[in-house]
Amino acid sequence: MKRISRRELLRNAGLLALGTFSSISCSVKPRPGSKAVEYEFFRNVTARLTYGGQTLLLDPMLSPKGALPSFAGISPNPTVELPTSPAAIIRDIDAVIVTHMHSDHFDPAAGELLDKSLPIITPRNSARVNPADPSTLASFKTQLEEYGFSDVMEIASEESESLSFRNLTFRQVWARHGKGVVGDLIGDVNGIIVTADGMPTIYWTSDTILDEAGEIEGILQRFKPDIVIANTGGPVIEAVSPELLLMDAAQGIELIKLANRYNPKVQVVAIHMESLDHCFSTRQDLLKLVNTLPAELQQRVFIPEDGEHITLG
Ligand SMILES: [Zn+2]
Ligand SMILES: [Zn+2]
């Protein structure tokens, strides 16, 4: 493996917050009155979610394979191509949800290709554009507006407050992008709860560890989500810290059990795997653990392949 310096890693972590760039299938139109949730998964965390009559684009990373820097010194990112063209992924969307500004969640290709008048929804939070330089602290909203987007809406930072977008309601919830030094370095992040009248409650963990203090369990207890979208790739940047940046397969399976404790009908979709050079937990790692769960619960866990479409709810 090519070794890269800590400085280089910090710069690349900054590029986690930036990226680089470059462009069909899947246009699921909601059925009127349907309670079904259509989830079209593309790569890493990028997906289209059709929910409550709205089609949302989630965390777009639209660069071709290898266009973004390495995070772990192993290979450029992303490590795989999109299963379809960016033009197909961004067609006919009502809004874009950006959980945070790391380049595996919003990259310059997305900044270039998306219509600048599209509504973008992001947590009210901020992060350093360059993790090594405190003077580069800027809100996610400001960072998105710098791409030219004119309709960026923030989800209030208190869980008790919410953002309404048409018939959908968004709340931000606790998340922590790694323990100790690595969490401090990588910056703040939030989970998101999405609700709409008569629709299943969705909890999107975003990039978070499963914490020992029980913050995530508290979210599961309070909101009893029907659908959990969980990031479980287990990334580590060894040169900085051996700590996980977000859940791996072992934490993912604990999250599934906890979610099932508070909602025995929960469906869990596990993503953020096999697309980036610092993610060491694979779909197979998680599947092996899922296979140890009761058969009925196994049926409610989805580990989508790139390009897979799942009907939930
Ligand atoms: Zn991240
Ligand atoms: Zn990520």
Number of other residues whose CB lies within 10 A of the CB of residue 309: 14
Q: Which is it for the CA torsion 137, 138, 144, 149, positive or negative?
A: negative
Helix (H, G, I), strand (E, B) or coil at 282: coil
Helix (H, G, I), strand (E, B) or coil at 65: coil
- Percentage of residues in the chain having pLDDT higher than 90: 80
CA of 271 to the centre of ligand 2 (A): 10
Q: What is the pLDDT of residue 28?
A: 53
What residues pair up with 271 in beta bridges, in sequence order? 231
Please report, for the chain, the start and end positions of each structural domain, with discontinuous segments joined by +: 6-312
Q: Is the pLDDT confidence value at 73 over 50?
A: yes
**Backbone phi, psi, residue 106, to 5°:** -155, 120
91-139: per-residue pLDDT in tens?
999 999 999 999 999 999 999 999 999 999 999 999 988 878 889 999 9
Q: To 5 degrees, how large is the angle CA 32–CA 95–CA 174? A: 105
192-217: per-residue pLDDT in tens?
999 999 999 999 999 999 999 999 99
Q: What is the mean pLDDT of the chain?
A: 90
CA of 32 to the centre of ligand 2 (A): 33
CA of 53 to the centre of ligand 1 (A): 28
| Rounded Cα distance, 267 and 226, in Å | 6
CA of 33 to the centre of ligand 2 (A): 33
pLDDT class of 31 with cuts at 50, 70, 90:
low
- CATH class, range 6-312: alpha beta
CA of 25 to the centre of ligand 1 (A): 27
Helix (H, G, I), strand (E, B) or coil at 299: coil
What is the number of the ligand closest to the CA of 276?
2
More confident residue, 38 or 181: 38
More confident residue, 14 or 80: 80
**Backbone phi, psi, residue 208, to 5°:** -140, 150
Residue closest to 188 by CA, chosen among 243, 124, 126, 246: 126
Q: What is the pLDDT of residue 199?
A: 97
Please, are residues 232 and 163 in contact by the beta-carbon 8 Å criterion?
A: no
Q: What is the pLDDT of residue 179?
A: 86
Taking CA atoms, 81 is separated from 51, 62, 276, in Å, by 26, 9, 11
pTM of the shown model: 0.90
pLDDT class of 33 with cuts at 50, 70, 90:
low
Please, are residues 200 and 37 in contact by the beta-carbon 8 Å criterion?
A: yes
Taking CA atoms, 203 is separated from 91, 212, 219, in Å, by 25, 19, 9
Cis-peptide into 78, omega within 30 deg = yes
What is the number of the ligand closest to the CA of 272?
2
